[in-house]
């Protein structure tokens, strides 16, 4: 794919930062809200649910590109105000779809992230316009688009000047009628192999039915997605669009509570429902589990460096007491600044050094043995 000059894979994956929320980092980002913005109350209730669940971004369509011209087309400017206001109330970011130049112009200054929908994925003029702004673009995969076409659509936006593209897999047309579309879960991995851009998954438009959303969301995280875009409505039975696939608020919150464990299993983080006033034992323990995982990962990374250092030391100089004392002094000072009992440093670090020294000695002895053996072989062959 030689034309993926900007979207193609590079040494580092891109993480897109918007007002303190990073898409494509370690944390899984949850986006939720109704298909269409209908009223102010509907949006404030949705925002409350997203916040409770630990979501970071509120969604809601104000321009709806509907399959039938007789279906609800969106509230436009009025709906935009409801969306922006509700997001603000809960300190969430907001995303909405644009369909043409006037809608883009209307929303661009008020919305944090712009969505280009599946039906417009190959609207090349719209892609070029999206390339002229700096706000991140969620680019949905077209109904029948190949991964290559989807990535080339991203390339259109990027080559027009906007590097902040988030790919969104939302299901493709297949011959299978039991779901609205077929979630192409392998597209997440393929897109990530071909491109450095973050990839999120929308299970709602893929499934078209709410009973599958939880399992597809978990599969998406397990497959490497950086985030989820899920439709949720305060009262799905009354929704003007996509009611059957919209989660009830309590289902959305319950699902969010189940995502952390899946995220951890693939070395990612999702912290659900953290509220200053509503810190439950469970959510606090989730946070501790995430931190513990990071501590062990960092210790493992430290050990790898320790082993590299071994190759640069003489066997009789593996233990370096002055350096150990210096490190401990520095960390005691740091722990005092962070109000962490310095006893912890005094107890843990001698043990870390001990294990490191043992590992270095072992490694050096193995190396020396290997050298001896190859010398014997060398002499033997002469």
Contacts of 381 (CB under 8 A, 6+ apart): none
Do the Cβ atoms of 32 and 59 come closer than 8 Å?
yes
Q: Is 202 in the site for Mn ion (CB under 5 A)?
A: no
Binding test (CB under 6 A) with ligand PEP, winner from 117, 227, 249, 257: 117
Closest CB to ligand PEP: residue number: 117
Shortest CB 172 distance to Mn ion, Å: 16
Considering only residues 22 through 41, tell me which ones interact with Mn ion, judged by CB under 5 A. 35
Q: Give the total of residues touching Mn ion (CB under 5 A).
A: 2
Q: CA distances (Å), 344 to each of 119, 351, 352, in order?
A: 57, 11, 12
Q: Which residues pair with 22 in a beta bridge?
A: 17
Do the Cβ atoms of 205 and 199 come closer than 8 Å?
no
How far is Cα 141 from Cα 149, in angstroms, rounded to an integer?
A: 9
Give 65 or 260: the residue with its C-beta nearer to ligand PEP.
65
Q: Is 142 in the site for ligand PEP (CB under 6 A)?
A: no
How far is Cα 255 from Cα 316, in angstroms, rounded to an integer?
A: 56
Give 170 or 218: the residue with its C-beta nearer to ligand PEP.
170
Q: Is 35 in the site for ligand PEP (CB under 6 A)?
A: yes
Q: Closest Cα partner for 318 from 372, 349, 366, 359?
A: 359
Give 118 or 221: the residue with its C-beta nearer to ligand PEP.
118
Q: Is 198 in the site for ligand PEP (CB under 6 A)?
A: no
Shortest CB 67 distance to Mn ion, Å: 11
Q: Is 170 in the site for ligand PEP (CB under 6 A)?
A: yes
Q: Is 205 in the site for ligand PEP (CB under 6 A)?
A: yes
Q: Is 61 in the site for ligand PEP (CB under 6 A)?
A: yes
Considering only residues 222 through 251, tell me which ones interact with Mn ion, judged by CB under 5 A. 242
Query: What secondary structure letter does DSSP report for 173?
Result: -
Q: CA distances (Å), 38 to each of 22, 83, 246, 248, 381, in order?
A: 29, 10, 14, 16, 84
Q: Is 118 in the site for ligand PEP (CB under 6 A)?
A: yes
How far is Cα 119 from Cα 65, in angstroms, rounded to an integer?
A: 8
Chain residues binding Mn ion by CB under 5 A are: 35, 242
* Residues at the interface with ligand PEP (CB under 6 A): 35, 61, 117-119, 140, 170, 202, 205
């Amino acid at each position: 794919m030689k034309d993926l000059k900007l979207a193609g894979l590079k040494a580092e994956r891109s993480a897109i930062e918007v007002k303190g929320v990073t898409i494509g980092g370690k944390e899984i980002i949850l986006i939720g809200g109704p298909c269409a913005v209908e009223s102010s109350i509907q949006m404030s209730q949705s925002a409350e649910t997203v916040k409770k669940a630990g979501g970071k971004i509120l969604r809601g369509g104000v321009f709806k590109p509907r399959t039938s011209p007789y279906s609800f087309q969106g509230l436009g400017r009025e709906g935009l105000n409801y969306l922006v206001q509700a997001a603000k109330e809960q300190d969430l970011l907001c995303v909405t779809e644009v369909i043409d130049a006037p809608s883009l112009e209307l929303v661009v200054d008020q919305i944090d992230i712009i969505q280009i929908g599946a039906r417009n994925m190959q609207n090349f003029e719209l892609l070029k316009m999206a390339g002229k702004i700096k706000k991140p673009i969620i680019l949905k995969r077209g109904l029948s688009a190949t991964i290559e076409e989807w990535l080339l659509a991203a390339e259109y936006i990027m080559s027009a000047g906007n590097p902040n593209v988030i790919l969104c897999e939302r299901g493709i047309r297949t011959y299978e009628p039991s779901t609205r579309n077929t979630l192409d879960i392998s597209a997440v991995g393929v897109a990530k192999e071909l491109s450095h851009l973050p990839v999120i998954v929308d299970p709602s438009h893929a499934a078209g039915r709410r009973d599958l959303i939880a399992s597809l969301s978990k599969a998406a995280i397990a497959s490497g997605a950086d985030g989820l875009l899920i439709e949720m409505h305060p009262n799905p039975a009354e929704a003007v669009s996509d009611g059957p696939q919209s989660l009830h608020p309590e289902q959305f919150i319950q699902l969010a509570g189940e995502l952390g464990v899946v995220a951890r299993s693939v070395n990612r983080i999702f912290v659900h429902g953290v509220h200053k006033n509503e810190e439950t034992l469970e959510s606090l323990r989730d946070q501790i589990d995430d931190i513990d995982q990071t501590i062990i990962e960092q210790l493992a990374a430290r050990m790898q460096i320790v082993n590299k250092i071994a190759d640069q030391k003489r066997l009789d100089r593996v233990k370096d007491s002055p350096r150990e004392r210096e490190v401990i002094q520095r960390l005691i000072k740091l722990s005092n600044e962070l109000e962490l009992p310095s006893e912890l440093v005094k107890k843990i670090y001698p043990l870390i050094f001990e294990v490191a020294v043992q590992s270095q000695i072992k490694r050096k002895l193995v190396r020396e043995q290997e050298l001896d053996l190859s010398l014997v072989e060398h002499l033997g062959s002469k």
